Amino acid sequence: MSPELLQAIALLNNNEVLAMPTETVYGLAGNAFSEEAVAKIFTIKQRPLYNPLIVHIKNIAYLNTIAQNIPDVAMQLANAFWPGPLTMVLEKKDCIPDIVTGGKKSVAVRIPNHPLCLQLLEALDFPLAAPSANPFGKISPTSAAHVHKQLGNTIPFVLDGGNCERGLESTIIGFENENPVLLRVGAITQNEIEKTIGPIKNIDKYNTEILAPGMLAKHYSPNTKFIVTPDVEKTLHQFENLKIGLIKFCKSENNKNIHTEIILSHDGNINEAAQNLYSAMHTLDELQLDIIIAEKMKDDGIGKTINDRLQRAMAE
Ligand code: TXA
Ligand code: MG
Do residues 50 and 145 touch, judged by C-beta distance below 8 A? no
The ligand with the least distance to the CA atom of 312 is: 2
* Candidate of 22, 132, 159 to mutate for ligand 1, largest count of ligand atoms within 8 Å of Cβ: 132
DSSP character for 139?
A: P
- Which residues does the chain have with pLDDT short of 50? 205-206
Q: What is the pLDDT of residue 206?
A: 46
Q: Would you give the distance in Å from CA 83 to the centre of its chain? A: 15
Q: What is the pLDDT of residue 205?
A: 46
Which atom of ligand 1 is the closest one to the Cα of 102?
29
Which atom of ligand 1 is the closest one to the Cα of 184?
21
Do residues 109 and 86 touch, judged by C-beta distance below 8 A? no
Digit-coded pLDDT (tens) for 24-73: 999 999 999 999 999 999 999 999 999 999 999 999 999 999 999 999 99
Which atom of ligand 1 is the closest one to the Cα of 85?
1
CA dihedral in degrees (154, 160, 164, 167; nearest 10)? 10
Encoded amino acid at 227, one letter: I
For ligand 1, the distance from its centroid to the CA atom of residue 196, given in whole angstroms, is: 22
Name all residues whose Cβ lies below 6 A of ligand 1.
22, 24-25, 27, 51-54, 85, 87, 89, 101, 104, 106-108, 112, 130-132, 169-170, 172, 174, 183, 212-215
* Candidate of 142, 172, 176, 210 to mutate for ligand 1, largest count of ligand atoms within 8 Å of Cβ: 172
Taking residue 261's Cβ as centre, other Cβ atoms within 10 Å add up to 17
Q: What is the pLDDT of residue 208?
A: 56
Q: What is the pLDDT of residue 256?
A: 87
* Candidate of 18, 66, 82, 87 to mutate for ligand 1, largest count of ligand atoms within 8 Å of Cβ: 87
Query: Can you list the alpha helix ranges (DSSP code H) found in 46-109?
Result: 63-66, 72-81, 98-101
pTM for the model stands at 0.96
For ligand 1, the distance from its centroid to the CA atom of residue 123, given in whole angstroms, is: 23
Pick from 215, 149, 186, 163: nearest CA to 305: 186
Q: What is the pLDDT of residue 267?
A: 97
Question: Which residues, in sequence order, are bridge partners of residue 201?
Answer: 181
For ligand 1, the distance from its centroid to the CA atom of residue 111, given in whole angstroms, is: 13
